[in-house]
Amino acid sequence: MHFIISNECQNFNVASIWQICMEDKNAFYNDGFMNTYVECFIGPFIKTFLAWSTDVKVRWNAASGGVGTALLMYMLKEGVVDAVLVPKPRVRQGLIHGVYTIIKEPSELPKYSGSLYAPVFGLIKILNYALNKFRRIAVTAIPCQADIIRSLIKRQKLEEKVLIIGLYCSNTPGINATRYVIKRFGINPDDLESIRYRGCGWPGYMCLKTRIQNIKIPHVSFWSSGFGQYFYFYGLRCYLCTDHTNVSADLSLADPWTLPHEPIKRLGGATLVVVRSRKALEIFEGAIKAGYIEAIEVDPIYSINDDLLFKLAVRALYRHKHAKLPPGFTTVARELTFYFGRFLASNERLWIILRLYNKFIPTIIYTIASFLDSKFRTTWMRIYTDIKFLQKKRSKYFALMLDENEKLD
């Protein structure tokens, strides 16, 4: 079998396993049981790491640590793969999309590092071409793309030929999302020549090049402007998707939001890595030995973030079989703010109202919903707070470990 899957999670129910933990608190601190518990949230995995590229430039220009770029460079230089497939951004009148392209030269990869918060096209066509032309390939993909790739190569019995480097994904912004955010910050969309959504450290900046000037917008500012935080410009299928952690990938890469931020900022960024297959573990360890990556193994509890807990909750308005957590007042509030915000985002003439709505309404609604969750002790909130407690409890040990690693360097 390709993945390591525990029997306990074949038909998992997160709430029932959480109930076991409530009856036996010691279970939470047993590593074997903890791995089973985490697997029920993030899917099958072998190990979890915090890692970063040893190349300072790669790390600085990446979204969070440059591990994806470093891995691809290692595989190309060392002949592990013959080519890699990555999305290339295209800009037209403030509308951004990506198109998959084939890279064979390691020196070209840094140009494509960082996040691409826009729809990406052309995967199937270029994947079929690459499978026929090259002996082995690697592909970077978000969960829905990774699922398609996995299904295709499994059907054609080509799994050993392809390594899927997956990205955690909250949702993919629609094609108008970037146009909204650049207009929000007073930039003429027609003047936009190029864009990097992340880079210049962690959590980084959105870097825009226009005909007139270069502009840097802090990640927190553009993400909370209505672009990403509440998902107004995201499609319904994206919003209903429960695969936040990319379970079809060989390894999944994520921002380390659940870990202490200050040590990671001093590094210039780092990547939370969830290794899911033996093949990926061998390649990842090879990249470490070859000096492309540094890594520290971390507790898997850090791989569970806020977006995942929201995505796994049952939706109030649209029911789907993949939800694994009961809803809470906070998850319902998130759903309602999404639908109304999505309506405002659908028409450019309503974007002024969307800005005002985004500034005041979600904060008020979430504050009330969080209070109700705490007052009525909903199962969703109890699971959420227990996970946060575990992450905080173990974060002191992690911070000391990272500080020791910095001293050795």
pLDDT, residue 390, reads 86
pLDDT, residue 243, reads 93
- Asked whether the predicted pLDDT for residue 150 surpasses 90, the reply is yes
pLDDT, residue 15, reads 56
pLDDT, residue 236, reads 81
pLDDT, residue 403, reads 67
Q: Whose CA is closest to 250, among 162, 129, 169?
A: 162
Tens of pLDDT, residue by residue over 338-362, are 999 999 999 999 999 999 999 999 9
CB atoms under 10 Å from CB of 38, counted, come to 22
- Please state, rounded to an integer, the average pLDDT across all residues of the chain: 88
Q: What is the mean pLDDT of residues 255-268?
A: 92
Work out the percent of the chain whose per-residue pLDDT is above 70: 88
CB 153 within 8 A of CB 65: no
CB 83 within 8 A of CB 162: no
Cα–Cα dist 197/158, whole Å = 33
CB 161 within 8 A of CB 133: no
Q: What is the pTM of this model?
A: 0.91
Q: What is the mean pLDDT of residues 104-119?
A: 93
Domain map (residue ranges) of the chain: 47-170+237-303, 306-408
pLDDT, residue 6, reads 38
342 compared with 240, residue with greater pLDDT:
342
Where does 47-170+237-303 sit in CATH, by number?
3.40.640
Tens of pLDDT, residue by residue over 355-392, are 999 999 999 999 999 999 999 999 999 999 989 988 88
Tens of pLDDT, residue by residue over 56-74, are 999 999 999 999 999 999 9
pLDDT, residue 405, reads 66
User: Residue 1: pLDDT band by 50, 70, 90 thresholds?
Assistant: very low
pLDDT, residue 216, reads 94
Length of the chain in terms of residues written: 409
CB 150 within 8 A of CB 277: no
